Amino acid sequence: MKPANRSLFIAAAFVAFRVLAQDAALRPWKDAQGRIVQASFVSATADSVTLRMADGKEHQLSLARLCAEDQAFVKSQSSAAATAQGITPAVTAPALNRLPAEKRTWPENVVVPTKSIEIQIIEESPAARKFLYRSEGFEFNSQAKLAGSVMKEVARTFEATKTLVSSLPWGVVCKPPEGFERYKAELYETRKDYIAAGGPENSGGVYMSGDKIFRVPFPSIGLKLLGKTYAKDDNYDGGTLIHEITHQVMDAYLTFLPVWVIEGTAEYTEMLPYNAGKFRADAHQKGLKDHIQQMQKRGYAIEIGNLEEHLTMNRGKWGGIANTTNRKMGELYFRSVLAVYFFCHLDGDKKGTRFIKFMDAVYGDTEALRTFFKDPRVKHFPDGRFSYPTNFPPPDMKSETAPFKHLDLLLDGRGYSQIAQEMTEAYKSIGVKISVN
């Protein structure tokens, strides 16, 4: 949600899929870093495996931590266990095009393809206040007629943001939600209309993951009425759009990410220099410093404070703080983008390797959920509910645990105080004095 007051509406659910299997003999298991341990396979979930060590102790590991061969072994054991119980094996969701992590690089200029912003007019009905437009990846339902140049500019911002997120080495696959041919956006003529449609009163725009729709009122992006058609005024601003579109195209990831990553990545894309369908992704440091300068002018300190508290903050605590005042929410957002920027550009090898591994593990969670819903054992109902056998529940999506299970990939054996010190020194190296502990 974009200021006035911003918060993310996150649809949550769910539990952990456990496949029963008989104990196997000890075998070597290797992780992605090449470390080996002797253990036997006990059981697996859609995104983790439980191993029994030689001393009899059991440990649960994320599948994303294992090498490709061992991940394949776990899947074969899970399928065998299901067959032994007379269960039809899961239908694996089709793989989506995605570069391996080692081949991903930080882009320079990200430019939206021209064909993406070719606008189709689907319907224009003044009586019904329905004006339906489509670009390549988005469908826009507007309450009033938009000038062709305005609709093209709005579509260009949407499509360019989608192109940007797809181009970053986070490995995000931008695909409309299941059952949607395109991402959907609704544009409201007045704030009153926006609020009546569910938009929070103190917000300027919001992506709601419950119904997968991005809602924004005309005043938030600077549109004015000229005759019978809306056009841009001098206050036209794509920032509100970029932030919320980032949430929209990352929808599949939201349940599995801490709120600081959700909001920090959206702030990151919004701070990149942007003009007419082109993001200067290589100017990220300039974008950060400009953002810091703007925040300082508004009275915000360059600080994260207690790093562990911020990185492990759950949705309930975040919401409690964010809903206190606009300033408190602003602090959370500012701290989040400072943390995301550090992990993307200043941490370790300065290539964002740890953050990329973290995002890859989260991608594994999204694929596990897609696979679950494709399984014939899962029954879907018209109202959106679904059912499943008691021995085949969904992957872990509990808000208390799901967003934090891969944080150890960012920590990489370091304590929070060590990372705080590294963060302080790293920011100092680019001329920024930050307070973090």
What are the pLDDT digits (tens) for 66-90?
887 788 777 766 555 544 444 444 4
Assign 176 to helix, strand or coil.
Answer: coil
Given a contact cutoff of 8 angstroms between Cβ atoms, the answer to whether 51 and 40 are in contact is yes
What's the CA gap between 76 and 85, in Å, rounded?
14
Instruction: Average the pLDDT over 176-196 and give the result.
Output: 93
Question: Residue 162: what residue type?
Answer: K
Backbone angles phi, psi at 59, to 5 degrees: -135, 140
Mean pLDDT of 270-296: 95
pLDDT at 39 over 70: yes
pLDDT at 93 over 80: no
How far is residue 89's CA from residue 79's CA, in Å, rounded to a whole number?
6
Q: Annotate 399-411 with DSSP letters as a single string.
A: TTTGGGTTHHHHH
Confidence of residue 1 (pLDDT cuts 50, 70, 90): low
In the chain, % of residues over pLDDT 90: 55
H or E stretch at 40: strand 36-44
Whole-angstrom distance, CA of residue 353 vs CA of residue 173:
18
pTM for this entry: 0.78
Q: How far apart are the first and last CA of the chain?
A: 28
Q: Which of 373, 368, 402 is nearest to 386 (CA)?
A: 373
Could you tell me which residue, 395 or 299, shows the higher pLDDT? 299
| Strand ranges inside 109-181, DSSP E | 109-111, 120-125, 130-134, 138-142
By the 8 A CB rule, do 308 and 416 touch?
yes
**Nearest alpha-carbon partner for 406 in 346, 355, 369, 348:** 355
For 276, the token pair is 């007419």
Classified as helix, coil or strand, 152 is helix
Q: For residue 201, how many C-alpha atoms fall within 13 Å in the half-sphere facing its CB?
A: 1
Rounded mean pLDDT, 118-133:
94
Pairing type for strands 278-280 and 274-275 reads antiparallel
Phi-psi category of 89—alpha, beta or left, where left has phi over 0 and alpha has psi -120 to 50? beta
- What the block records as the tokens of 382 is 């018209």
- Contact yes or no for 189/217 (Cβ under 8 A): yes
Count of CB atoms situated within 10 Å of the CB of 47: 25
Residue 47 pLDDT grade (very low, low, confident, very high; cuts 50, 70, 90): low
Interior CA angle at 274 toward 272 and 279, to 5°?
75
Residue 411: pLDDT band (50, 70, 90) is very high
Find, among 29, 96, 104, 101, the residue nearest to 60 by Cα: 29
The whole-angstrom separation of Cα 437 and Cα 428 is: 15
Report which of 87, 110, 98 is spatially closest to residue 162, judged by C-alpha positions.
Answer: 110
CA quadruple 35, 41, 45, 46: dihedral sign: positive
pLDDT of 46 reads 58
Report the C-alpha gap between 405 and 361 in whole angstroms: 9
What is the pLDDT confidence band of residue 429, given thresholds at 50, 70 and 90?
A: very high
> SS3 for 88?
coil
Confidence of residue 9 (pLDDT cuts 50, 70, 90): very low
| Per-residue pLDDT band at 16 (split at 50, 70, 90) | very low
Domains, the chain: 2-13+97-346 (no CATH), 27-84 (2.30.30.700)
Of 214, 182, 219, the closest CA to residue 198 belongs to: 214
What pLDDT, on the 0 to 100 scale, is given for residue 77? 66
Which tokens belong to 32?
A: 């992605």
- Looking at the predicted structure, is the pLDDT value of residue 137 above 90? yes
If pLDDT is split at 50, 70 and 90, which confidence band does 6 have? very low
